Amino acid sequence: MKNYGFAALLFGLGLLGLGMTVYRQPGSQEAAVINNTKDLEVISLLPSGTGYDLLLRNASAKNINGYSLAFKNGPSVTVDLTVGERVIFPGEKFTEHLPSADKTEPTIRYIVFDDGTGDGDNAAIAELLARRSGRREQLERIVPMLNNAVASGDVELLKMQLQALPDKATASNSLYFAQGMQDAKEDALLAATKLDKGNVRAGLARLVEASSRQMIRLSKRANP
């Protein structure tokens, strides 16, 4: 899970506005969860050894492959599962650990499904989808480079080619699109640096496979 770096119905649910609910930990006036989604259920927010654990459940009929939290006292956290090989299945529970400083009014900004649709803050969802588009476009450049490196075994040439890839916003793409390009570039460079020097071609072949699968996951797009 990159930082490119998330049972029962709750008691104490109250409407704050259209599509927004708030959950308060029983007996507490400060540990509140603001939920901007309909399909992600807040189960509990409980103290843990180093902060708080926010237990959530996918209450939709779709797989979740991304979500974002914001905090009153700190930056937002976005988890994009397309970088890895998993999704959050319908009915599945998962825990997001919150440092103590972030426990005051965490907000669930949105979730994104693996069909490219989303639930929650539409503007923020569009930002994540733009990053995914940038990552996908960059991977379309990276995969042929990896294939050539499999044939040649020349990792240093591969690194030079990766370094030269574009990763800046232009008149035709957004800052978020450029961030996606930069994420893909940095991930590929890091992977190339970590290759087992005793078995370079096999490692490159695995990178080709993983990058190609990621492109397929990122190819699902829809308007939020």
Tens of pLDDT, residues 59-101: 999 999 999 999 887 788 999 999 888 899 999 999 998 887 6
* Same domain, yes or no: 172 and 200: yes
Domain boundary among 76, 102, 120: 120
Q: Rounded to whole angstroms, how far apart are CA atoms 91 and 94?
A: 10
Confidence of residue 8 (pLDDT cuts 50, 70, 90): very low
Domain boundary among 85, 120, 155: 120
Domain boundary among 76, 104, 120: 120
* Same domain, yes or no: 97 and 154: no
Return the closest-CA partner of residue 108 out of 17, 47, 38, 15. Answer: 38
Q: Identify the residue with better confidence: 83 or 25.
A: 83
* Same domain, yes or no: 81 and 134: no
Mean pLDDT confidence for 125-144: 95
* Same domain, yes or no: 105 and 164: no
Q: Please say whether the beta carbons of 33 and 108 come within 8 A.
A: yes
Structural domain tally of the chain?
A: 2
Confidence of residue 203 (pLDDT cuts 50, 70, 90): very high
Q: Which domain holds residue 194?
A: 127-218
- Which range has the worst mean pLDDT, 137-141, 162-166, 168-172, 206-210? 168-172
> Rounded mean pLDDT of the chain?
84
